[in-house]
């Protein structure tokens, strides 16, 4: 298990043997798709990690006494959350977009190119991938979107309308999100703000095909979380 994952386990367990065991077991389950045979590309391993994350989150939701208000089509958080993605996550998004039928692809790319603001700016500057019907790349949405599970739709609406405190979140799904980030070592490479990175990729005609193939470059001058 990577050192970062061990740090995550110890931080989460707080010396509680049961919590330590449960978190180590979670990391082991998420590690399986990431430890695929050498012939499996990094992008495919990350896609497999997404599947494992979804399975963990669905299992958590299945144990809840009532359904969460979060669901595809509810998009308050797509507007008020600043979204950060790893290069691998961005590459999966680009690969997905490039494989869409031409009309769908062109509509998404036009929206990405037209956007100038960062995500998290409210209705006037949401995630560039948000459309009227919801997330345009839902099946390859990044880990922060998969792990974000609000406990109150009303609190999300108020956050979007008035600003202020973030809505209460389900901790268990965020734990899965952070564990997956540790498995993919995303924390060792500061993530990018999603709108800026996608705009950069789609402003260069040569980049989308390279990124879709897993040949992505560093963009050090773009804003990175935790990097000044």
Alpha carbons 78 and 127: distance in angstroms, whole number: 6
Contact 156, 76 (CB under 8 A): yes
pLDDT, residue 2, reads 45
Alpha carbons 134 and 111: distance in angstroms, whole number: 14
pLDDT, residue 223, reads 82
DSSP track, 189-207: SPPEEHHHHHHHHHTSTTH
Alpha carbons 195 and 132: distance in angstroms, whole number: 17
158 DSSP 8-state letter: H
Place of tokens 């430890």: 35
pLDDT, residue 139, reads 95
Q: Could you state, in order of their start, the residue ranges of all structural domains in the chain?
A: 3-212
pLDDT, residue 1, reads 40
Contact 151, 167 (CB under 8 A): yes
Beta bridge partners of 84: 193
pLDDT, residue 5, reads 52
DSSP track, 87-151: HHHHHHHHHHHHTS-HHHHHHHHHHHHH--SPTTSGGGS--TTEETTEETTGGG--HHHHH--BS
pTM for the whole thing? 0.90
pLDDT in tens, the chain (228 residues): 444 455 665 666 676 788 778 888 898 999 999 988 888 999 999 999 999 999 999 999 999 998 888 776 689 999 999 999 999 999 999 999 999 999 999 999 999 999 888 999 999 999 999 998 789 999 999 999 999 999 999 999 999 999 888 899 998 899 899 889 888 875 567 899 999 999 999 999 999 999 999 998 889 889 888 654
């Amino acid at each position: 298990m990577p050192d970062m994952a061990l740090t995550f386990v110890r931080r989460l367990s707080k010396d509680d043997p049961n919590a330590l065991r449960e978190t180590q077991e979670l990391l082991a389950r998420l590690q399986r798709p990431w430890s695929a045979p050498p012939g499996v590309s990094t992008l495919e391993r990350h896609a497999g990690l997404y599947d494992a994350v979804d399975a963990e989150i669905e299992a958590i939701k299945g144990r809840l006494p009532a359904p969460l208000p979060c669901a595809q089509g509810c998009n308050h958080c797509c507007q008020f959350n600043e979204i950060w993605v790893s290069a691998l996550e961005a590459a999966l998004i680009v690969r997905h977009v490039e494989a869409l039928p031409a009309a769908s692809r062109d509509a998404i790319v036009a929206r990405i190119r037209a956007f100038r603001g960062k995500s998290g700016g409210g209705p006037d500057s949401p995630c560039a991938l948000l459309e009227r019907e919801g997330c345009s790349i839902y099946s390859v949405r990044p880990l922060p979107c998969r792990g974000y599970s609000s406990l109150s739709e009303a609190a999300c609406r108020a956050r979007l309308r008035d600003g202020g405190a973030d809505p209460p979140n389900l901790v268990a799904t965020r734990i899965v999100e952070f564990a997956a980030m540790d498995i993919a070592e995303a924390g060792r490479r500061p993530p990018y703000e999603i709108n800026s990175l996608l705009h950069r990729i789609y402003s260069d005609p040569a980049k989308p095909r390279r990124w879709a193939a897993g040949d992505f470059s560093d963009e050090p001058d773009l804003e990175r979380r935790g990097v000044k």
